[in-house]
Amino acid sequence: MSFASDMSKWCKQTMPKTMEKVVRRVVVEAANRAIFNSPVGDPSYWINPPPPGYAGGQFRRNWVYGFNSPPVGYIDDIDPSGHKTLAAIMGAAHGKAGVHYIANNVPYAQRIEDGWSRQAPQGIVGRIELELPEIFTRAVAQA
């Protein structure tokens, strides 16, 4: 075989795998930023006292992954640290061609995105959207 045919064969075998790594890294990094930039309820900022038994972390827990269709519903659980949420997304995310969604469907998600939270006054998703070129460049370099 010639060098050109060897390279062609290598590209056909390697490039899809490399691109899948890049896509998965971008998805996971975007999820990581969404999760760890998400506010966790802090009643010290609230006008009214929290309900009995309140524990923050519902918004952070509700970042979910979807492939080719947006995820629906929300999770009735909390994850103040964000580690359980990131692990779930890392377990589901892959690099196949298609549309990858990272969504948060709690009823107050849009208010947080619009700057309602003192902990995330610039929102979450809009900031990640601006950071995507850097996320992609780093993922390509790592792949």
- What CA–CA distances, in Å, run from 121 to 2, 6, 124? 58, 53, 9
- Indicate the length of the chain as a whole number: 143
Higher pLDDT pick, 90 / 53: 90
Query: Which pLDDT value is given to residue 57?
Result: 96
Confidence of residue 45 (pLDDT cuts 50, 70, 90): confident
Find residue 102's DSSP bridge partners. 65
- pLDDT tens-digit map of 85-136: 999 999 999 999 899 999 999 999 999 999 999 899 999 999 999 999 999 9
128 and 83 Cβ atoms separated by less than 8 Å: no
Three-state secondary-structure class, residue 65: strand
Query: Which pLDDT value is given to residue 8?
Result: 64
List the domain boundaries for the chain.
Answer: 3-142
Whether pLDDT at 76 is above 80:
yes
Rg over alpha carbons for the chain, rounded to the nearest Å, is 19
Query: Which pLDDT value is given to residue 58?
Result: 96
Query: Which pLDDT value is given to residue 143?
Result: 83
Confidence of residue 28 (pLDDT cuts 50, 70, 90): very high
Query: Which pLDDT value is given to residue 4?
Result: 62
d(CA 101, CA 123): 17
Query: pTM for the whole thing?
Result: 0.87
Query: Which pLDDT value is given to residue 81?
Result: 97
* Mean pLDDT rounded to a whole number for the chain: 91
d(CA 109, CA 10): 45
- Listed range (24-33, 49-58, 79-88) with the worst mean pLDDT: 49-58
Distance of CA 73 to the CA centre of its chain: 16
